[in-house]
């Protein structure tokens, strides 16, 4: 048997899959009810920079953008 991963985008579709499971046609292995957390929320505050490190990073980003624009 093959295992596939499905993303259910409609509650009616999930009901159909449950009906198929009741008929022993498919088997639900795991139901992920936890909504995925956005990456920005997941990693918010994970990098603690000093003010100086932050300013150096921002300047590096500005310099990189300027180089990119110059080379276009």
Residue whose pair of structure tokens reads 């300027």 in the numeric block = 66
pLDDT tens-digit profile of 4-30? 888 888 888 988 999 999 999 998 887
- Spatial distance between the Cα atoms of 33 and 25, rounded to a whole number of angstroms: 22
pLDDT tens-digit profile of 23-67? 999 988 877 766 677 877 777 776 777 889 889 999 999 999 998
Alpha helices in 1-72 (DSSP H): 11-22, 39-43, 51-71
């Amino acid at each position: 048997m093959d295992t596939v991963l499905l993303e259910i985008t409609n509650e009616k579709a999930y009901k159909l899959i449950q009906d198929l499971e009741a008929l022993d046609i498919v088997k639900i292995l795991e139901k992920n009810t936890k909504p995925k957390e956005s990456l920005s929320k997941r990693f918010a505050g994970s990098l603690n920079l000093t003010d100086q490190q932050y300013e150096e990073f921002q300047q590096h980003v500005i310099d990189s953008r300027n180089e990119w624009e110059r080379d276009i």
